[in-house]
Structure 1
Amino acid sequence: MKKLMLMMSCLCLGLMACKPAEQEVVEKTPAALAATQPDCSLNFGIDAWEPYQYMTVDNKPAGLDIEIVKGVLSNMGCQFTVTQGSWTELLLKLKAGEVDAVLGASKTEDRESFAYFSDAYRKERFQLYVRNSNINYPYKNITAYLEAGHKLGIVNQYYYGDDFAALYDNKTFQPLFIGAIISELNIARLLDEEIDGLLEDSFVAASILRRKGLDKYIKPHNISLESADVFIMFSQESISPQQVEAFNTGLTQLKENGDYNKIVNKYSH
């Protein structure tokens, strides 16, 4: 899933709040509470990406990714902690070993220089979202959209795939890419007509627009990127290959005992 290298400063707009202060929440799985393994504790970095990962109003981590990880750690008998921050912040913390893992990541050659990757645990698909008045844009793909000169909102550090990276490297198109630290900023810019469209995971965008009551004003266009595997990144500074292997074993167990499908099905409806 994610992440194209871009840099810009944090902006606060009416439809969103400034980036929240970093939070840390500690939860123990049932297996961890019963086990005598005080050294088995993994800290996961999460950003606000509902319905995959987010903090509830009572400051609890929730979402599809969170439930999958909790299930795996239960099989491992480990404690679960989270650190919340922006994607850019979490990548820096992962490199330094200040968080053990980051959820919802795409595998790239650059990231493999500082992180280990779990087995793929789900897929994601990014889609173009536009104002309702532009839902009939006549373009069949994102290249045609950019060739028409339309500005596109993307999220800093997200990786959208090799084909999209090639478009971003094209000097003709570079001025059309507008980066943001979180999706809500792109949504505000789209409403303010500062950009013409934005790319977001279809589940995430639907959740944000529904929660903010904006699904009548912003609609998914038929343009989408190819679906891609999503992984968990583990810090090479704090996690060993053996621990990653143990996590993958726990993930396999979660799939084989049927709990994985129960979690995914819950978020599919």
Structure 2
Amino acid sequence: MAIGTQREPFVIQPKDSPVTGFDIDLLKAIVEKAGCKLELINKKDLSWDTRLTMIKEGQLDIATGASWNNNRAEWAHYSFPYRNEYAGIYIRKSDEDLFASKSLAQLLAGPFTLGVTKGNTYGSKLDTLLASHKNKLHSVDNSSSFYQLIDQGKIDGFIGYPVTDIIQLIRKKLDDKFTLHYETVVKTGQVHYLLSKKTVSIDLINAFNSALVELRANGGYDKIVKKYSLSYGINTW
């Protein structure tokens, strides 16, 4: 598996230490219980879209944090879900009054340009809405460019993930400049591991899923949840 952009607390890349994070710790536990070996390749320059293509072509075997998408299901196995995910729109704090009490549909109906990440799927509700407002979207390979794009006036907001983006705003000391528009937060669905059909057999995906079920039953999953819940104050996964 290739490690792309850091998504703390799910994927954490310490400078001189092994990659960790909720998704990684759980994956390692699943793989060990399934009797397999995991090789992590640190490729910070690989975008999500590129990694999806590599999984489709069999150049990579697995990715973390994948939402359900019918097109992907044609060339990849989805594991059983292992956590939920939420998305929302981030805007400048100075624009809070301008966009107050407006849903995403209302924002896109007006003069609002939205930043999205190539290759991302945001759940059926959001994906359907975005598909009908393609002229209002600005797509990027890496979500780290969103802050600069807002400063440049190229976008008015971007789709982010409350848990990961709040942490990053604090890390970058930008939490006084950007904020989550709470009227736009939605549960995008459940998150899965995505495994290449070109390299992963039915027997292996079955063993993978069985290991995940066993970890939920024997307390191994809860132990990992507790570790990151205590560290970050996260109540739901």
- TM-score normalised by the chain length of structure 1: 0.79
- Work out which of the residue numbers 190, 193, 196 in structure 1 matches 2:153: 193
Q: 1-side partners of 2:86 and 2:209: how far apart?
A: 23
Q: 2-side partners of 1:113 and 1:90: how far apart?
A: 16
Contact 2:89/2:160 (8 A) holds in 1: yes
- Work out which of the residue numbers 127, 132, 155 in structure 2 matches 1:165: 127
- Name the CA shift for 1:116/1:150 in 2 (closer, same or farther; >3 Å): same
Measure how far apart 1:179 and its partner are. Answer: 0.9
Contact 1:105/1:232 (8 A) holds in 2: yes
Q: 2-side partners of 1:227 and 1:167: how far apart?
A: 13
Measure how far apart 1:225 and its partner are. Answer: 2.2
Measure how far apart 1:86 and its partner are. Answer: 1.2
Q: What residue is the counterpart of 2:180 in the other structure?
A: 220
Amino acid at match of 1:175: N
Q: What residue is the counterpart of 2:52 in the other structure?
A: 91
Contact 1:47/1:54 (8 A) holds in 2: no
Counterpart secondary structure, 2:191: strand
Amino acid at match of 1:82: L
Q: 2-side partners of 1:186 and 1:178: how far apart?
A: 10
Does 1:244 pair with 2:201? no
Does 1:156 pair with 2:118? yes
Q: 2-side partners of 1:142 and 1:150: how far apart?
A: 10
Counterpart secondary structure, 1:262: helix
Measure how far apart 1:213 and its partner are. Answer: 1.0
Counterpart secondary structure, 2:38: strand
Question: Where do 5+ consecutive residues of structure 1 fail to align?
Answer: 1-43
Counterpart secondary structure, 2:139: strand
Contact 2:56/2:196 (8 A) holds in 1: yes
Measure how far apart 1:257 and its partner are. Answer: 1.7
- Work out which of the residue numbers 93, 96, 106 in structure 2 matches 1:144: 106
Measure how far apart 1:232 and its partner are. Answer: 0.8
Measure how far apart 1:46 and its partner are. Answer: 3.0
Q: What residue is the counterpart of 1:209 in the other structure?
A: 169
Counterpart secondary structure, 1:80: coil
Q: 1-side partners of 2:119 and 2:17: how far apart?
A: 25
Contact 2:66/2:193 (8 A) holds in 1: yes
Q: What residue is the counterpart of 2:11 in the other structure?
A: 53
- Work out which of the residue numbers 99, 102, 107 in structure 1 matches 2:68: 107
Which protein has the bigger helix share?
2
- Work out which of the residue numbers 222, 225, 228 in structure 2 matches 1:267: 228
Question: What does the per-residue CA deviation read over 1:151-198, in whole Å, with 9 as the maximum and x for residues that have no partner?
Answer: 11111110012222222322xx32210111121111221233321111
Measure how far apart 1:59 and its partner are. Answer: 5.5
Amino acid at match of 2:172: K
Measure how far apart 1:265 and its partner are. Answer: 2.7
Q: What residue is the counterpart of 2:218 in the other structure?
A: 257
Measure how far apart 1:66 and its partner are. Answer: 0.2
Q: Percent identity?
A: 28
Number of positions where the alignment pairs a residue of Structure 1 with one of Structure 2 = 224
Counterpart secondary structure, 1:123: strand
**Deviation beyond 6 Å, 4+ runs, structure 1:** none
Measure how far apart 1:117 and its partner are. Answer: 0.8
